Chains A and B, each alone.
Chain A
Amino acid sequence: MIKIKDLEKIYRTEEVETVALNKLSLEVKEGEFVAVMGPSGCGKSTLLNILGLLDDPDGGSFMFNNIEVAHFNERKRADLRKHNIGFVFQSFNLIDELTVFENVELPLIYTGVKSAERKKRVEEVLDKMQIMHRRNHYPQQLSGGQQQRVAVARAVVNRPKLILADEPTGNLDSSNGNEVMQLLTDLNEQGTTIVMVTHSEHDARYSHRIIRMLDGQTVLENIMV
């Protein structure tokens, strides 16, 4: 599903040049659950942004479903992203002005799904995340765990092939964190590919494979059994 070769990303300011990704190569197969680990500043977030088509690389190749996307313009990237990729963030990133239902509905609106169909799918996914009773509440009225479940619901409502999770349990206590990890595992078992950045060895154990990064390169791969 994802094939990366010699990927480079360099951040430049007037005085300093920071190499975030240094000729990184990586492959993720369809249906895999991969955890990316490493110290702060090792480039794992940059990698996730590029995988999520939020940022473009400065060099190298990025094949997504056998299409070269490294030099797609913003429009094309947005189009590919909204149909194929779901995001889960550490800080949930729900829109405060929208209710739970409306937050989850948003990706469907941008992909042009009809209103009746939207309602059905949002309810389905809210049900699955056991958050249906909170559908008319605003994010501030929910606990952290509930907010993250809404965020996961939003990430999967469009039935993406790939979910990118950026420290999904970072802001949660351990029981809520485990719940979210279980959700991701369930999704993966139903066929969704997941790439997750995490600091937590505990969370990483839910994955099939751990990629350890340092200074913009992969240094080690652990296959989980």
Chain B
Amino acid sequence: MFRNYLKTAIRNLWRNKTATGINLLGLTTGLTCCLLIGLYMQHELSYDDFQSKGKRIARVIMEYTFGADVTRGNFTSTKVAPTFSRTFSEVESAIRMTQTTKVVQYGDKSFVEKKFMYADSTFFDIFSFKLLEGDPRQALMYPKNVVLTKSVAKKYFNNQSPVGKTLKVGTDGVDYLVTGVMEDCPSNSQMRFDMLASFSTLGVNQEVTYTNANYTTYLLLKDKNSFDGLQTKIDNYFKEENAKSNDPFKVTFILERFDKIHLHSPYEGFEPNNSITYIYIIAAVALLIMAIACFTYINLSTARSVERAKEVGIRKVIGAMKGQIFGQFVGESILLTLTSLVLSIGFVMLLLPWFNDLTNKQLSIASLATPFVIAFTLIIVVCIGLLAGSYPALVLSAFQPIRVLKGSFKNTGTGLLLRKSLIVFQFVISVFLIVGTFIIQSQLHYIQSKKLGYDREHVVVMPLDMKIMKVLPVLKSEFTAGSDVLSVARATNLPTHIYGGYSMNRPGLPEGTEIMVTANPVDEEFVKTVGLEIIAGSDFTRQDMEDVMHEEQEKKIYHYILNESAAKEMGWTPEEAIGKKMFLGDMRPGYVRAVVRDFHFTSLHNPIKPLVLFTEDWGRYILAKISGKDIPGTLARMESAWKKLVPHRPFEFSFLDEEYNNMYSAELRIGKVLNIFAAIAILLACLGLFGLSSYSAQQRMKEIGIRKVLGASVAHIITILSKDFIKLALIATLIAFPFAWWMGNKWLQDFTYRVNVSWWIFLVAGSLAVIIALVTVSIQAVKAALANPVKSLRSE
């Protein structure tokens, strides 16, 4: 019996190549999307699973209250770990970590290591990273010890064992002893360093203050259920501590579950976080695409059921039970789905490199090859087969054999309403995705084209360290020797993301007043290089810089450039501010040089706050404004100057607009992914529509023939055939709009600066859906309308 079904199924699929092709294409595309998204989700949801103590680890978040201003961040001082271990019995162990960039040298090999981690010696006790060589208890015990990951060890030492050898680390080439080799950090780890050195190396290991917060602290709790209890204790402890202190600010700490950081935390870790919202969005998109593919199958199969009716009738007359017929057709759809699965696995393998590029992951199909996943996939496939096949099977198995075989059977209203509803639903999904894509794209466009108040085009960003600082004046003059480098500046934070927290005040404000402000130490070329607009006063001068270069702190005089918000906060108009005396922190007395127009110095998720630029003889970045006429030539010239003057460091650079885009990497990525999947959804919906309209045209061949004989024009016939489908597309558009509007606004709420969801988005999306439907349907309609009526009438 089964073999007979299989035979009929295969032959039937083969005979109806168009329908089979459409269904295979639809299901394969759907399954391919699902598999790819499944791989991605599995990877994201598996973050840090390998940490056997992960459920007992907490990350410590600092809450810093200053007047009415509350700041939270994942940075803590070195005091937190020892204090917490000592004070709270729930804490078994604690660790401080920080990641930085170091130049590392061994023999004649020298690399810039961007993921150079410092961690306390408790590291291998708290985290489940596997040490291949060395003693986990001793490896990070002493200053200047370093553990290498396997691949980094290979980079420096080839296949020799590095343990016991020394590496030269940093610009001054300090010797670090290699004490171990560990397995590379898994791709689903929230920390993925290449080198791990002992925290004691940093020499910052004093318990002085809570506010010098530059490190990440993790706690290992004795019991995974003690998070809440410990949090209460921490709250109470710091209430007392804050009451005792005279400082104008208050600190307290919040525990964050380690295993929730990657998908749920608003605070970045060592690696970029993802958001569970985006995981949900992408899962929903996968489901919607699969639904569209299933609906196409249901639609085409029920529409085509007339063709199968004769077979069903015969089988029933001969003795088939309803259940057997049902089983046969469901089996057929499962067969088709399984074939699609095989095809889509092939496609996934083909597309994976591209998909990895898109998502910035290293996913591999091998991770799907676990018995659980295979079983799960098969069950899902069978479910899809059942879902897609059962309605057509139900319709077919209910046919009355006598009516079918007497030829009186016509495709009456059976399932017509259902077919129409499914088309509407497919188009609702498509329109929803089109609107969603438009909204996201227009916000992304807004982000990219927004006048930020500074010019991020053609600005080359290079790192700055103590050694480079010494040669900076020479380097600057080498750079600017050509006319293609317009100016060179130095800054501690890039203008894309200024985050240094300070306080400011001025004479005349009540004693102890502190105004929270973000500030960035810069030099006299900064304003010019990044193109800030001065609205009052004048730019820093060379003399201003000299004023802060005194050896003795007391003799230093600072100069300030405020943004409009900062001036307003101080109670000045821009004009009033010029030349006024003010302080930044307790130390820096100085005068206001200028006020610049407000510019976006953090992500557009946040509003513009008060900002101070001030003169300081220090920085972390070199910024060079170039003409942009011959970028490769300019860069080559800069590189040769760099190599001459900065031999200890390779020439590494980025562009300011890249740095800016990096802030929106999550949004840009989701935008790209949605673009692609929305396109796929629309294509699939069209495919279904195409199949259905071609079928409907075929069904109405005789009617069209008669109409033509009676004098109907081609245009009239196209209208008749298209009208119904277009009506459905219109209905779908109207249903989709409110959902899309609501979702779009919800997503946009995360941005302080955002586009409005304007009516034209809906107009365009709606028209697009209708036009696509019209084109799809017309292809068939035109074909039918142009056909010779004699043919269709004779064949009856």
| Chain A residues near B (Cβ < 8 Å) | 45, 49, 52, 54-55, 74-75, 78-79, 81-83, 87, 89, 91, 93-98, 102, 105-107, 109-111, 154
Chain A CB within 10 Å, residue with most, of B4, B314, B324: B314
Shortest Cβ distance from residue B336 to the other chain A in the assembled complex, whole angstroms? 15
Contacts of A102 in B (CB 8 A): 4, 7
Shortest Cβ distance from residue B2 to the other chain A in the assembled complex, whole angstroms? 10
Between A and B, 12 residue pairs with Cβ closer than 8 Å are A75-B322, A78-B319, A78-B320, A87-B318, A91-B405, A93-B310, A95-B8, A95-B315, A96-B15, A97-B12, A109-B4, A110-B315
Q: Once the chains bind, are B310 and A110 in contact (CB under 8 Å)?
A: no
Q: Once the chains bind, are A154 and B318 in contact (CB under 8 Å)?
A: yes
Contacts of B629 in A (CB 8 A): none
Q: Once the chains bind, are A97 and B1 in contact (CB under 8 Å)?
A: no
Shortest Cβ distance from residue A55 to the other chain B in the assembled complex, whole angstroms? 6
B309-357 CB contacts (< 8 Å) to partner A: 310-311, 313-322, 324
A7 to B63, CA, bound (A): 91
Q: Once the chains bind, are A106 and B406 in contact (CB under 8 Å)?
A: no
Q: Once the chains bind, are A97 and B11 in contact (CB under 8 Å)?
A: yes
A54 to B313, CA, bound (A): 10
A58 to B21, CA, bound (A): 46
Shortest Cβ distance from residue B459 to the other chain A in the assembled complex, whole angstroms? 69
Contacts of B15 in A (CB 8 A): 96-97
Contacts of B318 in A (CB 8 A): 82, 87, 106-107, 110, 154
Q: Interface code B1-17, partner A: CB below 8 Å = 1, 0 otherwise?
A: 10010011001100100
Contacts of B317 in A (CB 8 A): 52, 54, 81, 87, 93
Which residue in A52, A75, A109 is a CB contact (below 8 Å) of B321? Answer: A75
A75 to B319, CA, bound (A): 10
Q: Known interface pairs A49-B402, A54-B317, A107-B319. Does A91 touch B407 (Cβ–Cβ under 8 Å)? A: yes
A96 to B318, CA, bound (A): 15
Shortest Cβ distance from residue B326 to the other chain A in the assembled complex, whole angstroms? 13
- Chain A residue nearest to B404 (CB atoms) is A93
Q: Once the chains bind, are A78 and B315 in contact (CB under 8 Å)?
A: no
- Cβ of B401 under 8 Å from chain A: yes
Q: Known interface pairs A98-B7, A109-B4. Does A82 touch B402 (Cβ–Cβ under 8 Å)? A: no
Q: Once the chains bind, are A54 and B402 in contact (CB under 8 Å)?
A: yes
Q: Once the chains bind, are A111 and B319 in contact (CB under 8 Å)?
A: yes
Shortest Cβ distance from residue B312 to the other chain A in the assembled complex, whole angstroms? 10
Q: Known interface pairs A78-B321, A97-B12. Does A109 touch B402 (Cβ–Cβ under 8 Å)? A: no
Contacts of A79 in B (CB 8 A): 319
Contacts of B401 in A (CB 8 A): 54
A74 to B317, CA, bound (A): 12
Q: Once the chains bind, are A95 and B1 in contact (CB under 8 Å)?
A: no
Q: Once the chains bind, are B8 and A110 in contact (CB under 8 Å)?
A: no
- Chain A residue nearest to B312 (CB atoms) is A95
Contacts of A83 in B (CB 8 A): 319
Q: Known interface pairs A110-B318, A111-B319. Does A97 touch B402 (Cβ–Cβ under 8 Å)? A: no
- Chain B residue nearest to A46 (CB atoms) is B402
Shortest Cβ distance from residue B103 to the other chain A in the assembled complex, whole angstroms? 72
Number of chain B interface residues as a range: 20 to 34
Q: Once the chains bind, are B8 and A82 in contact (CB under 8 Å)?
A: no
Q: Interface code B161-200, partner A: CB below 8 Å = 1, 0 otherwise?
A: 0000000000000000000000000000000000000000
Q: Once the chains bind, are B4 and A106 in contact (CB under 8 Å)?
A: yes
Shortest Cβ distance from residue A125 to the other chain B in the assembled complex, whole angstroms? 14
- Chain B residue nearest to A45 (CB atoms) is B406
- Chain A residue nearest to B307 (CB atoms) is A96
Contacts of B324 in A (CB 8 A): 110
Q: When A and B form their complex, which 4 residue pairs have the shortest distance between CB atoms, in order from nearest?
A: A82-B319, A110-B319, A97-B11, A107-B318
Q: Once the chains bind, are B311 and A55 in contact (CB under 8 Å)?
A: no
Q: Once the chains bind, are B319 and A81 in contact (CB under 8 Å)?
A: yes
B405-433 CB contacts (< 8 Å) to partner A: 405-407
A132 to B284, CA, bound (A): 57
Which residue in A94, A97, A105, A110 is a CB contact (below 8 Å) of B320? Answer: A110
Contacts of A94 in B (CB 8 A): 314
A45 to B407, CA, bound (A): 13
A52 to B318, CA, bound (A): 11
- Chain B residue nearest to A53 (CB atoms) is B317
- Chain B residue nearest to A111 (CB atoms) is B319
Contacts of A74 in B (CB 8 A): 322
Contacts of A55 in B (CB 8 A): 402
B212-265 CB contacts (< 8 Å) to partner A: none
Q: Once the chains bind, are A109 and B7 in contact (CB under 8 Å)?
A: no
Chain B CB within 10 Å, residue with most, of A79, A87, A95: A95
Chain A CB within 10 Å, residue with most, of B310, B313, B318: B318
Contacts of A89 in B (CB 8 A): 405
Shortest Cβ distance from residue A146 to the other chain B in the assembled complex, whole angstroms? 18
Contacts of B315 in A (CB 8 A): 95, 106, 110
A4 to B313, CA, bound (A): 26
A83 to B319, CA, bound (A): 8
Given contacts A95-B311, A109-B4, 18 further A-B contacts (CB under 8 A): A54-B317, A74-B322, A78-B316, A78-B320, A78-B321, A79-B319, A82-B318, A91-B407, A95-B8, A96-B15, A97-B7, A97-B8, A98-B7, A102-B4, A107-B319, A109-B1, A110-B1, A110-B324
Q: Once the chains bind, are B405 and A93 in contact (CB under 8 Å)?
A: yes
Contacts of A91 in B (CB 8 A): 405, 407
A52 to B319, CA, bound (A): 11
- Chain A residue nearest to B14 (CB atoms) is A97
Shortest Cβ distance from residue A159 to the other chain B in the assembled complex, whole angstroms? 13
Contacts of B321 in A (CB 8 A): 75, 78
Contacts of A97 in B (CB 8 A): 7-8, 11-12, 15, 311
Contacts of B310 in A (CB 8 A): 93, 95
A52 to B401, CA, bound (A): 11
Shortest Cβ distance from residue A95 to the other chain B in the assembled complex, whole angstroms? 5
A55 to B406, CA, bound (A): 13
Contacts of A93 in B (CB 8 A): 310, 313-314, 317, 405
- Chain A residue nearest to B15 (CB atoms) is A97
B62-117 CB contacts (< 8 Å) to partner A: none
- Chain A residue nearest to B9 (CB atoms) is A97
Q: Known interface pairs A78-B319, A89-B405. Does A95 touch B314 (Cβ–Cβ under 8 Å)? A: yes
B571-626 CB contacts (< 8 Å) to partner A: none
A89 to B313, CA, bound (A): 12
A109 to B328, CA, bound (A): 13
- Chain B residue nearest to A95 (CB atoms) is B311
Contacts of A111 in B (CB 8 A): 319
A110 to B327, CA, bound (A): 13
A95 to B311, CA, bound (A): 6
- Chain A residue nearest to B407 (CB atoms) is A91
Contacts of A98 in B (CB 8 A): 4, 7-8, 11
- Chain B residue nearest to A138 (CB atoms) is B11
A109 to B15, CA, bound (A): 24
Shortest Cβ distance from residue B17 to the other chain A in the assembled complex, whole angstroms? 14
Contacts of B405 in A (CB 8 A): 89, 91, 93
Contacts of B402 in A (CB 8 A): 49, 54-55
Contacts of A154 in B (CB 8 A): 318
A91 to B316, CA, bound (A): 16
A87 to B318, CA, bound (A): 8
- Chain B residue nearest to A155 (CB atoms) is B318
Chain B CB within 10 Å, residue with most, of A87, A105, A154: A87
Q: Interface code B289-318, partner A: CB below 8 Å = 1, 0 otherwise?
A: 000000000000000000000110111111
Shortest Cβ distance from residue B26 to the other chain A in the assembled complex, whole angstroms? 23
B381-407 CB contacts (< 8 Å) to partner A: 401-402, 405-407
Chain B CB within 10 Å, residue with most, of A49, A96, A97: A97
Shortest Cβ distance from residue A184 to the other chain B in the assembled complex, whole angstroms? 18
A98 to B316, CA, bound (A): 16
- Chain A residue nearest to B324 (CB atoms) is A110
